[in-house]
């Protein structure tokens, strides 16, 4: 496996892409701000530079690269495999209600002997990430691992984009299916947030819309907890996500972020589904606890010492974590890089939702939509035996 990476502050000139094209990549990952990734001419420039290489990526709330965390940049990572057994597919999303069907369409397109991992990049606005995953579950074999994330848009929650070889679009979901046994993907996730306050029962919800907590309008309850932060909703909701608890009050290892509020209905729109009659607790975090969480996620992903040459750690972390850490945000990326060592490169993005197999106690390897979590997909290539 060969890898070249470059970061750009503006639409890259063809000559600037030449070092990446020199390795004859079969796959090019592109993560960038809304301004740059949706810029007119980018897709044509990438095709001109990389020929028939497959393209995949999305917009961000911050870009992750070997140089750390950036804003308003375009990070392009070119990959050449000795055993390029993968396929990139896409589908249009007709709205939030189409999320599950879109996941099933992508799973059906990727169905192939030996399929063992899928990476997905979805738009981050007007999508139900939990339903998207459920659609994949219906079409994928149980042993196929699913990871990836929902595109960011700088924390605006208005319009995000995904990129494929066919289009840059705000109505597209892109997925990469890996079939070559030499291409190995390992996963890790951990959050580092701490719950506080009493558990509140979900007395009315519909999918990812939370209507009532303990019989009262959910928005009213939430605002009481936030105090002065309530005036900055929905943005301030990134600082105070919910921990999901089962009916037995035990944590299920999932967090839900507030994406929007409906003042008229008194409801909260969350980044993923919640469970009727389950319980929710508010959470908060410090920079140190989030950095520790990133380190735990990297350790959970593990390192295959038998992997040949370089490897790539794809980091998808929540925009809420970035807001909490502020100027210290690079520390969580550095923490991950330390675990994987000098032969590993990093790329990725700050997202509106993270997709990864859950590693919490009792959850096995089943994939979930995470919020406020550092998720890692570690890609390496073994030599054929």
pLDDT digits (tens, 9 = 90+) for 171-181: 999 999 999 99
Region 220-243: mean pLDDT is 89
List Cβ neighbours of 141 (8 Å cut-off, separation of 6 or more).
115
Query: From edge to edge, which strands make up the β-sheet containing 367-370?
Result: 86-92, 172-178, 117-122, 145-150, 353-357, 367-370
**And the tokens for 52?**
């028939």
How many Å apart are CA 217 and CA 351, to the nearest integer?
28
Does 375 sit behind a cis peptide bond, omega within 30 degrees of 0 on the bond before it?
Answer: no
Q: What is the pLDDT of residues 1-27, one digit of tens each?
A: 999 999 999 999 999 999 999 999 999
Record the pTM. 0.86
In order, the DSSP letters of 152-180 are P-TT--S---EEESS-EESSEEEEEEE--
Closest to 223 (Cα-Cα) out of 252, 192, 262: 262
Q: What is the largest CA-CA distance in the chain?
A: 63
Q: What is the band of 307 on the pLDDT scale with cuts at 50, 70, 90? A: very low
**And the tokens for 51?**
């020929």
Structure confidence at residue 362 (pLDDT): 32
How many Å apart are CA 300 and CA 316, to the nearest integer?
15
Q: What is the band of 361 on the pLDDT scale with cuts at 50, 70, 90? A: very low
**Does the pLDDT value for residue 69 go beyond 80?**
yes
Q: What is the pLDDT of residues 84-142, one digit of tens each?
A: 999 999 999 999 899 999 999 999 999 999 999 999 999 998 888 989 999 999 999 99
């Amino acid at each position: 496996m060969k890898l070249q990476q470059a970061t750009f502050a503006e639409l890259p000139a063809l000559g600037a892409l030449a070092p990446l094209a020199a390795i004859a990549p079969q796959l090019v990952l592109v993560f960038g701000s809304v301004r740059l990734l949706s810029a007119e001419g980018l897709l044509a420039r990438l095709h001109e530079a990389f020929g028939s290489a497959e393209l995949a990526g999305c917009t961000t709330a911050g870009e992750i690269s070997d140089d750390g965390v950036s804003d308003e940049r375009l990070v392009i990572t070119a990959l050449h495999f000795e055993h390029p057994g993968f396929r990139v597919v896409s589908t249009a999303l007709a709205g939030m209600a189409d999320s599950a069907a879109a996941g099933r369409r992508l799973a059906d397109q990727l169905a192939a002997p030996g399929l063992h991992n899928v990476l997905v990049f979805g738009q981050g606005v007007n999508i139900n990430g939990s339903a998207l995953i459920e659609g994949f579950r219906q079409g994928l074999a149980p042993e196929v691992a699913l990871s990836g994330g929902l595109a960011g848009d700088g924390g605006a929650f208005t319009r995000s984009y995904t990129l494929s070889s066919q289009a840059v679009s705000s109505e597209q979901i892109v997925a990469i299916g890996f079939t070559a046994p030499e291409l190995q993907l390992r996963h890790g996730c951990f959050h580092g947030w701490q719950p506080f306050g009493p558990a509140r029962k979900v007395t009315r919800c519909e999918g990812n819309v939370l209507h009532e907590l303990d019989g009262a309008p959910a928005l009213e309850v939430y605002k009481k907890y936030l105090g002065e932060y309530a005036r900055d909703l929905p943005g301030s909701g990134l600082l105070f996500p919910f921990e999901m608890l089962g009916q037995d009050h035990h944590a299920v290892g999932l967090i839900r972020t507030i994406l929007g509020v409906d003042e008229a209905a008194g409801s909260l729109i969350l980044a993923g589904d919640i469970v009727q009659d389950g319980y929710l607790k508010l959470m908060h975090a410090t920079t140190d606890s989030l950095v520790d969480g990133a380190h735990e996620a990297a350790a959970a992903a593990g390192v295959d010492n038998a992997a040949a040459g370089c490897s790539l750690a794809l980091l998808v972390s929540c925009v809420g974590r970035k807001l909490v850490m502020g100027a210290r945000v690079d520390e969580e990326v550095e923490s991950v890089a330390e675990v994987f060592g000098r032969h590993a490169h990093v790329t990725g993005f700050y997202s509106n939702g993270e997709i990864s197999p859950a590693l919490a106690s009792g959850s096995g390897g089943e994939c979930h939509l995470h919020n406020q979590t550092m998720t890692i997909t570690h890609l390496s290539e073994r030599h054929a035996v």
